[in-house]
Amino acid sequence: MASTPEITGPVSQEDIEAAEKLKNEANEYFKKQNYNTAIEYYSKAIEKNPNNAVFYANRSIANLRLEMFGYALMDASQAIELDKSYTKAYYRRAAAHMSLGKYKLALKDFEYVTKVRPNDQDAKMKYNECNKIVKKIAFEKAISVDKKEVNIADSINLDAMTIEDEYEGPALEDGKVTLKFATDLMDYYRQQKKLHKKYAYKILIDVKAYLQKQSSLVDIKVPDDAKFTVCGDIHGQYYDLMNIFKLNGLPSENNPYLFNGDFVDRGSFSVECIFTLFSFKLLYPNHFYMSRGNHETRDMNRMYGFQGEVTSKYNAHMADLFTEVYNWLPLAHCINSRVLVMHGGLFSMDDVTLDDIRKVDRNKQPSEDGIMCELLWSDPQPMAGRAPSRRGVGCQFGPDVTSAFLERNGLDYIIRSHEVKNDGYEVAHDGKCITVFSAPNYCDTMGNLGAFITMNGKDLTPNFTTYAAVPHPDVKPMAYANSFFSLLCQ
């Protein structure tokens, strides 16, 4: 819900009872992970009785589950406005702040609870844990110099790393990725085994060196009779990634792919996904493309599992190197000068051109506004015009915004990802804005199909292939996520 009813005067007993019934129905949908329907029912309960803080706090956690951080923040704040002693509302708001990387604001919420409830041990524990995160970030910032002067890749001594005799996994040939290496790696990962760290570091160093030479907007030329595939979010769902290759063929010079961001986080096989994708990037640099998503960022990786997974499977040093590599991922791709592909969406300003995207300095963490931020975070909306983002970052843009952007830049349509869709894709804005999402049964809870888009170079007509999730080893999503964040979202 974008809007919040004003706090009103007395509510009739009949409406109070009706609202309570709607809230209970919403809770049942929430338990079934049907968060969109739960939000609908919480909203109906709020319409009946806008004075109940619990309704807003419950809708807040449902919005959090859907990554609608801006709405979650609004609802939690409204709950606090209604009941300043309602501890759970502060926890919800803190979770929303943390999801947006605003750790100091989250800490303020915990600090307030500990002051008004000094004997609440749970609040004290959460305050202390959040304070540790804030201090750690401050320490990291204090010991670092200008990020552009830090070069982790150049500091790595591959010669000092030895390959143990007992290692039986895939090996680079003369330091290069080959097709045999890529296929062996995929099989090795299916067996839940780990690539040797020397090869892992070499892949990251080589990928960074290649990406540094690319523009922030990469132009792709697809011959008239050639097929091209665009995939959306993968989110660490390795076995579903393998299913895409089974259905659509392995990447090759004759079977090019573009993966449109959010390769990692949430799913607990993110390391396997990213090294597989990076291997194909090195193997077929001019026929395999990767866009940066909002989850190829430090704050998201810190909260949603990738940093924890890399640290667990390798070390924290490699996690830092990933951040350095992600900074160089292109922000958008343009297919035959007619189709623009980005992870999030369009812009809060009317005059953005393709050249503006090309000129973006992307070697950094995205700010809270501007072209880079909006490419990673924005979402389409059905109504005309623009609106503040329900995520709290980026903007929402209507069909008129899409049409004007396409006309200004001589484009046919845009492809973006970033949002779960029940069918794995959605065609909006009179066919000019297509969403593709490639992680089926997202987080093992959403029940959605995954999809990818194929087209030929001549007419660039999008064709959709959908598929259900496939089984994976018994490692739950978010297994490596920040445990404190998981605790807040209970």
Catalytic residues: 295
Buried b (16+ CB within 10 A) or exposed e, 20-42: bebbebbeebbeeebbeebbbbb
DSSP string across 240-265: HHHHHHHHH---BTTB-EEE-S--SS
* Residue keyed to tokens 């919480």: 42
Q: In angstroms, how far is CA 159 from the centroid of its own chain? A: 35
Query: How far apart are the C-alpha atoms of 72 and 100, rounded to whole Å?
Result: 11
Cα–Cα distance for residue pair 207/326, rounded to 1 Å: 10
CA-wise closest residue to 420 among 232, 277, 243: 232
- Helix, strand and coil percent figures for the chain, each rounded to 5: 45, 10, 40
For residues 37, 42, 48, 50, the Cα torsion angle rounded to the nearest 10 degrees is -150
Instruction: Write out the E strands in 84-141.
Output: none
> Which two structure tokens, joined as six digits, stand for 201?
């570091």
Residue found under tokens 């002051």: 115
Q: Closest Cα to residue 377, out of 386, 366, 385?
A: 366
Nearest to 99 by CA among 91, 110, 111: 91
With CA atoms as reference, report the closest residue to 38 among 67, 2, 63: 63
**Residue 10 Cα distances to 34, 48, 302, angstroms:** 32, 11, 44
In whole angstroms, what is the distance from residue 153 CA to residue 207 CA? 10
Q: How many residues are listed for the chain in this entry?
A: 490
**Sign (positive/negative) of CA torsion 73, 268, 137, 290?**
negative
